[in-house]
Amino acid sequence: MYLSKTILIISFIALLFAACGNKKDPHAGHAQGSKPSGVELESLLKPTNEFVVSSIPVTTIKRKEASIEIEALGNIAYDTREIRAISAKVSGRIEKLYVRYRYQHVHKGDKIMDIYSPELLTAQQSLLFLIKNDPENHSLIEAAKQRLLLLGMDDEQLKQIVNSQKPSLSVAIYSNYTGHLHEAGSMDMNLNNSDGKMDVSRITEELAIKEGMYVQKGQSVFQLYNTDRSWVLLNIFPESQSLIKVGNAVRIVPETAPDKNFRATINFIEPFYRKESKTITARIYFDNSRLNIPIGSQVRTTIFGNTADAWWLPEGAVLSLGLDKIVFKKESGGFRAHKINTGITNKNNIQVVSGIAQTDSVAVNAQYLMDSESFIKVKD
């Protein structure tokens, strides 16, 4: 900064000596010692981190209604409305497990486990006793059959018991849903280590539930997450939040499969900020059965359907200093750094909320006027 001031002072003194030399030699060329047009000594001696001498083009803020396209980042997540639970309808011991690891894909009708239950065994014996000793008592027989169905048996198993006239020591439990298998209460989908790398060992980690363990009646043993219906969760920053509405059209481009980009609409805007986040979350429900985009994939989106009637400047006229935004406002003799408040950026234009008036002229290229040896100082 001091070096810049010294160079300016030396340059001006040289111009003064040259001007004096011209008075002694009236026939000398005007260009040899001419003073820069419109530049005063007072302007040259102003701090370079506040004031810049230049004659670059200027512009003013312009009011217009613009169609806004908002860029937002997000990720694919499970649709929590599609989470289903597999619960124990009776107390008993797990005789055999047919699923072995977390995130295993299970289809509707797949066998999950065989369970031994004294309650189930007693109910089977009661049914067989009625069929053998009181076959005409249809109401009691139907009630006994209904009890077995409520305890978790299906029609095929019940039919097999009646035909064989022998109770089954263990009963198979089948899945009524399709999805990825999780242990009950396991909602942790964060598979990253502290260094940001994925811990692959956790993806195929063995289940805590083992053969020989006991389950209680009503206990939720497994949860199934169906990926056929999924969510896109978008992070919306504060300057764009007032423009985002339910029903806005969105173009979604998955980073893992850019060729599978698709259109959807915003279905829900969460009315709170998530922990340690400065963004609100917008949800988009979509059919993932054919796209098969992996859960956790990052997406880039463009949100359409908004307009804003506002004051605008070319994006190049505004310089970002981190938390502050400045323009170089035209004054007598040059440009002075001036702080403004901005809103959204749209198509190489930036919204001006406050800080300058319509009559103010600012430099078109703010970056060009920035002194590389100085920190810009702004007076509020």
**Does some domain include residue 114?**
yes
Three-state DSSP class for 4? helix
Neighbour-count burial of 200, counting CB atoms closer than 10 A to its CB (0-12 exposed, 13-18 middle, 19+ buried): exposed
| 207 vs 190: CA distance, rounded Å | 17
| 332 vs 359: CA distance, rounded Å | 15
Q: Which tokens in the block code for residue 95?
A: 């005789």
Q: Which amino acid is at 50?
A: E
Q: Which amino acid is at 376?
A: I
Q: Which residue has the tokens 């994006």?
A: 315
Contact between residue 338 and residue 58 where contact means Cβ atoms under 8 Å apart = no
**Does some domain include residue 60?**
no
> CB atoms < 10 A from the CB of 279, how many?
17
Q: What is the pLDDT of residue 23?
A: 43
**Does some domain include residue 88?**
yes
Do residues 99 and 139 both lie within one domain? yes
Long-range contacts of 368-375 (CB under 8 A, 24+ apart): 368/54, 368/56, 369/52, 369/54, 369/56, 369/328, 369/335, 370/319, 371/1, 371/4, 371/48, 371/49, 371/52, 373/1, 373/3, 373/4, 373/48, 374/1, 374/4, 374/47, 374/48, 374/49, 375/49
* Domain end (from 192, 223, 254): 223
Q: What is the pLDDT of residue 57?
A: 87
Do residues 237 and 201 both lie within one domain? no
DSSP structural state of residue 208 = S
Q: What range defines the domain where residue 10 resides?
A: 1-35
Do residues 108 and 233 both lie within one domain? no
Question: Number of C-alpha atoms within 13 angstroms, CB side, residue 54?
Answer: 22
| 265 vs 285: CA distance, rounded Å | 8
Q: What is the pLDDT of residue 48?
A: 54
Do residues 139 and 182 both lie within one domain? yes
Along the 380 residues of the chain, how does pLDDT read in single tens digits? 444 444 444 444 444 444 444 444 444 343 333 444 555 545 555 555 566 777 788 888 888 887 788 889 999 999 999 889 888 888 999 999 998 888 888 999 899 999 999 999 999 999 999 988 888 888 999 999 999 888 888 888 889 888 988 888 888 888 888 888 887 755 444 444 444 444 444 555 677 888 889 998 888 888 899 888 999 999 998 878 888 899 999 999 999 888 889 999 999 999 888 888 889 999 999 999 888 898 889 999 999 877 777 888 988 889 888 788 888 888 877 888 888 988 878 788 888 888 888 888 888 888 777 754 455 556 55
Do residues 234 and 297 both lie within one domain? yes
Do residues 141 and 184 both lie within one domain? yes
Comparing CA positions, the residue from 325, 322, 342 lying closest to residue 378 is: 325
**Does some domain include residue 238?**
yes
Do residues 76 and 155 both lie within one domain? no
DSSP labels, 230-296: EEEEEEE-HHHHTT--TT-EEEEEESS-GGG-EEEE--EEEEEEPTT-SSEEEEEEEE-TTT-PPTT
| 173 vs 155: CA distance, rounded Å | 12
**Does some domain include residue 342?**
no
**Does some domain include residue 62?**
no
What is the helix, strand, coil percentage profile of the chain, to 5? 25, 35, 40
Three-state DSSP class for 15? helix
Do residues 90 and 75 both lie within one domain? no
Of the chain, the end-to-end C-alpha distance in Å amounts to 21
* Domain end (from 253, 277, 305): 305
Q: Which tokens in the block code for residue 378?
A: 């702004």
pTM here is 0.63
* Domain end (from 223, 241, 262): 223
Do residues 138 and 216 both lie within one domain? yes
Contact between residue 227 and residue 107 where contact means Cβ atoms under 8 Å apart = no
- Give strand pairing partners of 279: none
Comparing CA positions, the residue from 271, 355, 350, 256 lying closest to residue 310 is: 350
**Does some domain include residue 152?**
yes
Report the domain count for the chain.
Answer: 3
CATH of the domain at 235: 2.40.30.170
| 280 vs 93: CA distance, rounded Å | 46
- Cα 357–Cα 363–Cα 364 angle in degrees, nearest 5: 105
Q: Which tokens in the block code for residue 216?
A: 């209680």
Contact between residue 76 and residue 232 where contact means Cβ atoms under 8 Å apart = yes
